[in-house]
Every structure is written in structure tokens, then in C-alpha cells.
Amino acid sequence: MIILENVSKHYQNRDKSRFAAVAPTDLHIRAGEIFGLMGYSGAGKSTLLRLINLLERPDTGKVLVDKQDLTAMNDAALRRARQNIGMIFQQFNLLANRTVEQNVAFPLEIAGWTAEQIRPRVAECLEIVGLTERAGHYPAQLSGGQKQRVGIARALAPKPHVMLADEPTSALDPATTRSVLGCLQDINARFGVTIVIVTHEMSVIRRLCHRTALLDKGKLLEVADVQNGEVLAQSDIGRELLRED
Ligand SMILES: Nc1ncnc2c1ncn2[C@@H]1O[C@H](COP(=O)(O)OP(=O)(O)OP(=O)(O)O)[C@@H](O)[C@H]1O
């Protein structure tokens, strides 16, 4: 479903020297799996995630999603392809002056859906995340967990095959985290959406992910098949994370 071939991304240090936020990386994420990107702060997790939908353009390499080479597309084609890739953010990124249902409708308006198409799809997505009763509320009237559910409903609305989640539960307490992870799990199981999730918490990997990669200093150190009982133990950082867990 997602193939990264030799992708890398460099930024400048203050002294203008360049460093690799993501060193040349190959990664293959299968259709229907929940895949974790794990590592300490600054490891390059968010950058790697944002390379998947080309929010960051790679300096080298190719990004294929659903057999389409995003790196070869012009802007218009890329905008269309991105409708197949939902994104969920740590700080929710909701529009404050729009109600819950208007937030969920937003990507559909951008994609050119008609009002008749939008209404039932928004209702369906709010039902999936359990927020039907809050449709007319504004983000400021919601708890953190409810805000993230709106973020999930918004990402799901255009019926994407892939959802990218950047630390979606880092701003939430443990009980709310469990319920938001349950919501993502439900969406994966019911609709087969491939989910890539960035986290620095081993508990999120354990609860949610089928497989996970471990990154450090821009390098992919190892991949573990969590679903089949594998743990991150091939690298020093992996063993350190396990000890801390
Ligand atoms: N736009 C940017 N310009 C310059 N440097 C950046 C930019 N984005 C990220 N970086 C740097 O690239 C490195 C990797 O950052 P990234 O956010 O991908 O890591 P991360 O593993 O997601 O960490 P965190 O959990 O702290 O978000 C860091 O050193 C960061 O400071």
C-alpha cells in the first residue's frame, strides 16, 4: 500500500550545515495494517510520516501510495491523490469557527462533493466516532478526546485508503487515549483503512500496531512484527525502550 524507496530529507543546522532528518530509507507498509513509527524525540518520525503524503518533499527517492508514484505527480494530481490519504494531528487542527459537522464536511467541500453527498457522509462519520450528539457544537465546547474524534471523522470523511496519525494521543490522558486508540482500531477493522501512527509511547505500539519501525537520528533501525509477538530488540535503542517500558 505504501512503498518508500530510498527517501531522504535534509534540513539546515544554524551554522548552515545540512543534516539528515531522514537518511535514505526503504519501507513497505502493507494494505490494511496499522504500522507504528516509534522513536525518541527528534528521531525523524514526523518527517518520515509527512514524506508519505508529500507534506515534505523528499530530497531523494520515490513515494508510492496505492500503486501511484506521488513523487512524479504535478500539484493538481497530488491534490487528488491526497484525498486518499487522511491526516490526524496531535493538536487536532480543527477550525474554531466551524461546528463539528462543518469541520468534518470541510475536506468534502474542498474535494467538490455536493451538499446532498456531504450530509449523509458527515452523519455516517460522526456516528462511527460516536459524536452524533455533538454535531452542532463548536470545538471549544468539546473535551480533548472529543476534539480528536472530530479529527478522525474529518480524516475518514473522503473515504481514504490510508490514514496518517502524528502523535494523535500525546495531548490526551490515559483513559481518553484508550478510547481514541479503540476508535482507530475500529476504523481499521471495519473499513480496512491502512493506518500509520507516530508515537513515542511503547504502550500505543503494544495496544494498536500490527508492526512497528524504530527510528533514531533519522535512521530506520529495525522493524518488529508486534502482532506476532516480536518486540523491538534488535538495536540498543530498542532494548533501552523495552527496559523503560
Ligand atoms: N522544517 C524543519 N526545518 C528544520 N529542521 C527540522 C524541520 N522539521 C524537523 N526538523 C528537525 O529534524 C529532526 C527530526 O524531526 P522530527 O519532528 O521528524 O522528529 P520526531 O521523531 O517526530 O520528534 P518529535 O517526537 O520531537 O516530534 C529534528 O532534529 C528536528 O528539529
Atom 7 in ligand 1: residue holding the nearest Cα: 11
Q: What is the pLDDT of residues 201-232, one digit of tens each?
A: 999 999 999 999 999 999 999 999 999 999 99
Amino acid 90: pLDDT = 94
One domain, residues 112 and 174: no
Residue 219 DSSP class: E
pLDDT at 242 over 90: no
Confirm whether 198 is domain-assigned: yes
Q: Residue 48 C-alpha to ligand 1 middle, in angstroms?
A: 10
One domain, residues 104 and 224: no
Amino acid 192: pLDDT = 97
Spell out the residues 6+ positions from residue 33 whose beta carbon is closer than 8 angstroms to its own.
1, 194, 195, 210, 211
Answer yes or no: is the C-beta of 42 below 6 A from any ligand 1 atom.
Answer: yes
Answer yes or no: is the C-beta of 199 below 6 A from any ligand 1 atom.
Answer: no
Answer yes or no: is the C-beta of 41 below 6 A from any ligand 1 atom.
Answer: yes
Nearest atom in ligand 1 to 56's CA: 1
One domain, residues 173 and 141: no
Confirm whether 90 is domain-assigned: no
Answer yes or no: is the C-beta of 19 below 6 A from any ligand 1 atom.
Answer: no
Helices (H), ranges, the chain: 45-52, 75-82, 100-110, 115-128, 144-156, 174-191, 202-208, 236-244
What values do phi and psi take at 137, rounded to 5?
Answer: -80, 160
pLDDT at 194 over 90: yes
Query: How many distinct structural domains can be found in the chain?
Result: 2
Confirm whether 177 is domain-assigned: yes
The whole domain housing 122 covers: 95-159
Residue 20 burial class via C-beta count within 10 angstroms: exposed 0-12, middle 13-18, buried 19 and up? middle
CA pair distance 111, 85, nearest whole angstrom:
13
Instruction: Say what the pTM is.
Output: 0.95
Atom 1 in ligand 1: residue holding the nearest Cα: 11
Residue to substitute in 46, 55, 204, 241 for testing ligand 1 pocket (most ligand atoms within 8 angstroms of CB): 46
Q: How far from 112 is each of 58, 75, 108, 143, CA to CA, in Å?
A: 29, 17, 6, 30
One domain, residues 15 and 63: yes
Angle between helices 144-156 and 100-110 (to 10 degrees): 20
Residue to substitute in 8, 45, 216 for testing ligand 1 pocket (most ligand atoms within 8 angstroms of CB): 45
Answer yes or no: is the C-beta of 45 below 6 A from any ligand 1 atom.
Answer: yes
Confirm whether 101 is domain-assigned: yes
Answer yes or no: is the C-beta of 139 below 6 A from any ligand 1 atom.
Answer: no
One domain, residues 164 and 61: yes
Nearest atom in ligand 1 to 198's CA: 22
| Domain finish residue from 159, 191, 210 | 159
| Domain finish residue from 111, 135, 159 | 159
Q: What is the pLDDT of residues 62-118, one digit of tens each?
A: 999 999 999 999 999 999 999 999 999 999 999 999 999 999 999 999 999 999 999
Contact (Cβ atoms closer than 8 angstroms) between residue 10 and residue 19: yes
One domain, residues 116 and 218: no
Mean pLDDT, the chain, as a whole number? 96
| Domain finish residue from 136, 159, 182 | 159
One domain, residues 9 and 112: no
Q: Residue 115 C-alpha to ligand 1 middle, in angstroms?
A: 39
One domain, residues 191 and 165: yes
One domain, residues 118 and 227: no
What the block records as the C-alpha cell of 90 is 496531535
Q: What is the ipTM of this complex?
A: 0.94
One domain, residues 50 and 30: yes
Atom 8 in ligand 1: residue holding the nearest Cα: 47
